[in-house]
Amino acid sequence: MPITSPPPLRTMSPWLTVVKDLQAERAAEVPFPPGETSFSLARTKRFADDPLPLLLESYERYGPIFTLRLFHGQVVFMLGPEANHYMTVSHASNFEWRESHFREMISFLGDGLLTTDGDYHRRSRQAMLPAFHSERVKATIDTMTEETGQALQSIKPGTTVDLYKWTRKLALRIAMKALFGLDPDGAEAQRVDAAALFEQALGFYATDFRLRLLRGPGTPWQRQQRATKLLNGLIYAEINRRRRTGERGMDVLSLLLDASDDEGHTLSDVQIRDEVMTLLFAGHDTTTSTVAFMFYELAHHPEVVQRMRREQQQTLAGGLPTAEQLMRGELGELEMVLEETLRKYPPAWIGPRRSVRAFEFQGKTVPGDAFVDYCSWASHHLPDVFPQPFAFRPERFSAEAKATLPKGAYVPFGGGSRTCIGMRFGQLEVRTIATMLLGHCSLELPASFQLKVRQMPTISPKEGLPMYVGSPASLNAPRNADPVAA
């Protein structure tokens, strides 16, 4: 069979989308689960600004499945281990992504792994899987350590660094180089600030929902499209160069350029662009957020930092970590900190879906063609699953404690056939950056800093993460000043 395109969306018009959503809701053949189903701009704004408390309150009131009307439409939420397993594994075939709320991302990412379903998604994933096999991922460690080492030269004692912004630039360079063989110092890459353009494009999803319906000059949509056009120029230039020169490597782009089906059909430039854009987004955005949130928590837990540094000194003896050491979990303290960070702050915090057929869960019915979301962020904060869920406790992820977690309790990378394809790569990248940062300097938060979280569409620090840089000599002696030491 030829490599085909995914099915078209029902409509690309934002206003017509609202109409069709309402029509689908009115055609529901079974009742929605109970919940807050009246129209409420206040509830919609609360969800947009700070969804976690709203979801946890609804869970307490209604249980693991409930309905919230957000702006114009009913959205069913399913929370907890059983719900996560139901949606991602046991009944995954009854849920589609493409017509879920992720459809908004198609204007930026195109028809990549994140926004497609069915046979098209399976074929695309199969084509890219070889690039994410463990041996291929291990081979990227040199790029990770080299790029991190260069980036650390800009972090000097006595200065303040926005760790979120610093990590975004670093992670994007690593993704460009390790995943796609793109030269981040090449002429085309130097012409555009890719990290800033991604921030601008993704900022569209953090704006008020009503503003996202608008098109034309001065709108968030136009700003996103301007950034997308510049990023497209970078990606298409590399695709054209590779086709022209025949240059290939051990990267995803090379696999996509040479992919073909049984009849010799290959991927178009647009199809390749969509997968590259999707993986560049996922390959740097989640890493950026995870590193930032990790060091925010470490700044409040200096005793954890000291354990991590002692472990690094014993295991690495002042040298750089190897891929085998990091992927085998030889730095056990780091592993627990990483998993606890992903529990509290799973970057891909929500899993939007749309039901194919009506179904029943926990005694409640859900119509077909309904928006149904699972939420790892909320599920990871259920006190009946994770006691003291808002506390940062890496020991939750000791081998003994992990063995007691119910199936579906911990889903920072999704589950089933749609588990994040770049999970190994992302974990190795976070481990590398964190290990080298801890060995390079001490980092402290201003005492006045208050963390605010935004969803755009991954969760991240809304106002960055300013951190004071201490000297290597102060690694075991935090400053006697007002910052919170890490």
Q: Is 266 exposed, middle or buried (0-12, 13-18, 19+ CB in 10 A)?
A: middle
pLDDT of residue 478: 42
Map residue 392 onto helix, strand or coil. coil
Residues in the chain: 486
326 touches 432 (CB < 8 A): yes
Q: What is the pTM of this model?
A: 0.94
d(CA 285, CA 420): 13
pLDDT of residue 127: 86
Q: What is the number of H-type helices and E-type strands within the chain?
A: 22, 14
Residue pLDDT, tens place only, 433-471: 999 999 999 999 999 999 999 988 899 999 999 999 997
pLDDT of residue 476: 46
DSSP 123-139: HHHHHHGGGGSHHHHHT
For the chain, the straight-line distance linking the first and the last C-alpha, in angstroms and rounded, comes to: 56
Strand-pairing partners, residue 352, are: 373
Residue pLDDT, tens place only, 349-383: 999 999 999 999 999 999 999 999 999 999 999 99
44 touches 343 (CB < 8 A): no
CB atoms within 10 A of CB 55: 23
- List the one residue out of 132, 131, 144, 130 whose CA is nearest residue 326: 144
The count of C-alpha atoms lying within 13 angstroms of the C-alpha of 73, restricted to the half-sphere facing its C-beta, is 24
pLDDT of residue 395: 97
Sites in the chain below the pLDDT cut of 70: 1-3, 472-486
Q: Which residue has tokens 């006045």? A: 448
- List the one residue out of 423, 177, 193, 196 whose CA is nearest residue 290: 423
- List the one residue out of 161, 107, 75, 145 whose CA is nearest residue 369: 75
- Tell me whether strands 466-470 and 484-485 are parallel, antiparallel or unpaired: unpaired
Q: Which CATH class is domain 14-485?
A: mainly alpha
- The encoded tokens of residue 130 equal 């070889």
pLDDT of residue 471: 79
CB atoms within 10 A of CB 125: 16
Q: Write out the H or E segment, with its range, that includes residue 47.
A: helix 41-49
User: What is the DSSP-derived secondary structure letter of residue 300?
Assistant: T
**Domain definitions of the chain by residue range:** 14-485
d(CA 110, CA 96): 16
